[in-house]
C-alpha cells in the first residue's frame, strides 16, 4: 500500500521555537508538497519540490523553509514559530504531471 | 477573487437524495480539474478527474463547463458514507501545482 508518512500527528510549540516537520513517501515520486489547511481557507501551498535539492515557493512561503536531501524525504522548517502558524500541515507527493496527490495524515501544530 | 471558489455548505440531505456541487475557477487557461474528498480529520483523497466530455463513476458524475469556467459534481442516491468535504481542485497550467478550493461540506442523514 502506498504511503506518505508524517513524523508527528500533534505538536505543541512555543513562540520563537524552531519546528521541524518531516515527511517520507515510499512511492518513488518526483514531486513533494507542503500545504497548510485552515478553516474557510482550504489548502494553501507553502513549498514544493520536483526533484532532490530543488524547491519552489508556493503561495505562502513566508516564515517557512524546506529541505529535500533525498528523494523520499521532504522537510518543512519553521525557523521561529509564531502563533499565526498554528494550523494543520499536510505533506503530499505525486508523479510528474498528474493530478493525483497522495497525502499524509497531517500534522496539527499549535504554537502558544 | 479566489482562484477556485466553492459554496462551503453544509449541504444537509436525506439518504437517497441527489445533490450537486458547483465550483468556479478564475484562470481561463486552466488545464485540468479534479474532485477530492476529505473525511473528517482525515487527509484528502482523489475522488475523480473531470474531463471536458464529462465523466461518470458509479453514482458520481463530474462535468466541466469551460465557457462559464465551472465544474460540477453530482452525487445520486446519496449514502451516509458520502458525508465528507468535497474539494474542487484545478491545475492552472501545465505542471504540478494544484490549487484547491476551500471545500463543500456534505452531510447525508438517515
Pairing relationship of beta strands A10-13 and A107-111 according to DSSP bridges: parallel
Residues B100-110 pLDDT 10s: 999 999 999 99
Distance CA B99, CA B48 (A): 15
- With CA atoms as reference, the chain B residue closest to A31 would be B96
pLDDT confidence bin for B96, thresholds 50/70/90? low
* Interchain contact B100–A (C-beta under 8 A): yes
Residues A67-84 pLDDT 10s: 999 999 999 999 999 999
Residues B40-75 pLDDT 10s: 999 999 999 998 888 999 999 999 999 999 999 999
- Chain A: closest CA distance from residue B77 (Å): 26
Q: H/E/C letters for each residue in A83-98?
A: HHHCEEEEEEEECCCC
R_g (Cα) of chain B, nearest Å: 13
* Confidence at residue A77, expressed as pLDDT on a 0 to 100 scale: 98
The 10 Å Cβ neighbour count of residue B36 is 25
* Interchain contact B10–A (C-beta under 8 A): no
pLDDT confidence bin for B92, thresholds 50/70/90? confident
CB contact under 8 A, B94 and A97: yes
Q: Helix, strand, or coil here: B46?
A: strand
* Interchain contact B26–A (C-beta under 8 A): no
pLDDT surpassing 90 at residue B77: yes
CB contact under 8 A, B43 and A90: yes
* Confidence at residue B44, expressed as pLDDT on a 0 to 100 scale: 96
* Confidence at residue B53, expressed as pLDDT on a 0 to 100 scale: 85
- With CA atoms as reference, the chain B residue closest to A89 would be B43
* Confidence at residue B51, expressed as pLDDT on a 0 to 100 scale: 85
* Confidence at residue B94, expressed as pLDDT on a 0 to 100 scale: 61
Pairing relationship of beta strands B19-25 and B70-75 according to DSSP bridges: antiparallel
CB contact under 8 A, B96 and A48: yes
- With CA atoms as reference, the chain A residue closest to B43 would be A105
* Confidence at residue B31, expressed as pLDDT on a 0 to 100 scale: 84
For a pLDDT cut of 70, what percent of chain B falls above it?
97
Cell of B88: 474542487
Instruction: Write down the mean pLDDT value for chain B.
Output: 93
pLDDT confidence bin for B10, thresholds 50/70/90? very high
- Chain B: closest CA distance from residue A15 (Å): 25
pLDDT surpassing 70 at residue A1: no
Residues A7-66 pLDDT 10s: 889 999 999 999 999 999 999 999 999 999 998 888 999 999 999 999 999 999 999 999
Amino acid at each position: 500500500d502506498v504511503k506518505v508518512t508524517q513524523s508527528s500527528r500533534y505538536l505543541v510549540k512555543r513562540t520563537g521555537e524552531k519546528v521541524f516537520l518531516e515527511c517520507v513517501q515510499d512511492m518513488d515520486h518526483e514531486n513533494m508538497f507542503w500545504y497548510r489547511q485552515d478553516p474557510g481557507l482550504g489548502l494553501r501551498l507553502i513549498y514544493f519540490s520536483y526533484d532532490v535539492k530543488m524547491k519552489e515557493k508556493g503561495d505562502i512561503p513566508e516564515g517557512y523553509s524546506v529541505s529535500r536531501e533525498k528523494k523520499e524525504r521532504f522537510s518543512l522548517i519553521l525557523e521561529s514559530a509564531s502563533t499565526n502558524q498554528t494550523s494543520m500541515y499536510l505533506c503530499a507527493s505525486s508523479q510528474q504531471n498528474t493530478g493525483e496527490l497522495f497525502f499524509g495524515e497531517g500534522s496539527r501544530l499549535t504554537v502558544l | 477573487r479566489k482562484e477556485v471558489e466553492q459554496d462551503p455548505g453544509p449541504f444537509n440531505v436525506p439518504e437517497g437524495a441527489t445533490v450537486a456541487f458547483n465550483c468556479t475557477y478564475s484562470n481561463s487557461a486552466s488545464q485540468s480539474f479534479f474532485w477530492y474528498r476529505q473525511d473528517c480529520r482525515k487527509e484528502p483523497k482523489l475522488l475523480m478527474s473531470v474531463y471536458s466530455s464529462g465523466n461518470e463513476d458509479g453514482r458520481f458524475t463530474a462535468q466541466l463547463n469551460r465557457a462559464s469556467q465551472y465544474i460540477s459534481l453530482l452525487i445520486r442516491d446519496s449514502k451516509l458514507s458520502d458525508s465528507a468535504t468535497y474539494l474542487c481542485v484545478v491545475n492552472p497550467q501545465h505542471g504540478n501545482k494544484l490549487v484547491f478550493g476551500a471545500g463543500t461540506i456534505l452531510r447525508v442523514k438517515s
